[in-house]
Amino acid sequence: MGYEAHVLSQFPRDPLPSNSYYRLDVLASFFSTIRRTYNNHDLTTANIIFERHLSSCQLPKSSTFLYVDGPSPEEKRHTQELREARRVHALERAEACMSDMEDIFGRGGRLRKSHFRKLIKHIDGSFYWSLDARRSLSQFLRDQGWNIVECPSEADIAIAKDCTANDIVISGDSDSLIYASIRTIWRPLARGGYLVYDVQVLLKQLEMSRAALTVLGIVCRNDYSSNITRMGVSTNYSIIQPLNDTDPGAILQAYMAHEEVACKHPSKTHFNAAYTIFVLQEFTVAGPSVPPQTFNQEDATQDPSQRPVALEDIFYG
- Mean predicted confidence (pLDDT) in 8-18: 90
- Mean predicted confidence (pLDDT) in 273-297: 78
Q: Does 188 share its domain with 58?
A: yes
Considering the domain boundaries, does residue 19 fall inside one?
Answer: yes
pLDDT of residue 308: 42
Q: Does 150 share its domain with 278?
A: no
pLDDT of residue 192: 83
The residues facing 64 across adjacent strands are 22
pLDDT of residue 299: 47
pLDDT of residue 292: 54
E strand segments, 41-139: 64-68
Phi-psi region for residue 207, left (φ > 0), alpha (ψ -120 to 50) or beta? Answer: left
- Find the domain containing 247 and state its range: 207-316
pLDDT of residue 303: 35
pLDDT of residue 20: 97
Q: Does 51 share its domain with 155?
A: yes
Considering the domain boundaries, does residue 214 fall inside one?
Answer: yes
Q: Does 196 share its domain with 212?
A: no
- Mean predicted confidence (pLDDT) in 25-33: 97
Residue 43: CATH number of its domain: 3.40.50
Task: Using the 3D structure, point to which of 203, 232, 257 is the last residue of a domain.
Answer: 203
Given pLDDT bands bounded at 50, 70 and 90, which one contains residue 309?
A: very low
Considering the domain boundaries, does residue 121 fall inside one?
Answer: no
Task: Using the 3D structure, point to which of 180, 203, 226 is the last residue of a domain.
Answer: 203
Considering the domain boundaries, does residue 20 fall inside one?
Answer: yes
Q: 311 pLDDT exceeds 70?
A: no
Q: Does 60 share its domain with 26?
A: yes
Q: Does 150 share its domain with 16?
A: yes
Q: 301 pLDDT exceeds 80?
A: no
- State whether the Cα torsion 251-169-162-68 is positive or negative: positive
Considering the domain boundaries, does residue 166 fall inside one?
Answer: yes
Please give the Cα distance from 95 to 50 (Å, whole number).
28
Q: Does 244 share its domain with 193?
A: no
Please give the Cα distance from 192 to 55 (Å, whole number).
12
Task: Using the 3D structure, point to which of 146, 175, 203 is the last residue of a domain.
Answer: 203
Question: For the chain, what is the domain count?
Answer: 2
pLDDT of residue 13: 87
Give 37-74 pLDDT, tens digit per residue. 999 999 999 999 999 999 999 999 999 999 999 999 99
pLDDT of residue 314: 53
State what percent of residues in the chain have pLDDT above 70. 90
| Torsion angles phi and psi, residue 35, rounded to 5 | -60, -45
pLDDT of residue 286: 78
| Torsion angles phi and psi, residue 168, rounded to 5 | -115, 125
Considering the domain boundaries, does residue 116 fall inside one?
Answer: no
Q: 203 pLDDT exceeds 60?
A: yes
Q: 154 pLDDT exceeds 70?
A: yes
Q: Does 68 share its domain with 148?
A: yes
Q: Does 219 share its domain with 284?
A: yes
Considering the domain boundaries, does residue 119 fall inside one?
Answer: no
Q: Does 189 share its domain with 233?
A: no
Q: How many CA within 13 A on the CB side of residue 59?
A: 29
Considering the domain boundaries, does residue 93 fall inside one?
Answer: no
Give 120-153 pLDDT, tens digit per residue. 999 999 999 999 999 999 999 999 999 999 999 9
The vertex-225 CA angle with 201 and 149, nearest 5°, equals 70
Q: Which residues of 245-273 are buried (b: 16+ CB within 10 A; e: fewer)?
A: eeebeebbebbbebeebeeeeeeeebbeb
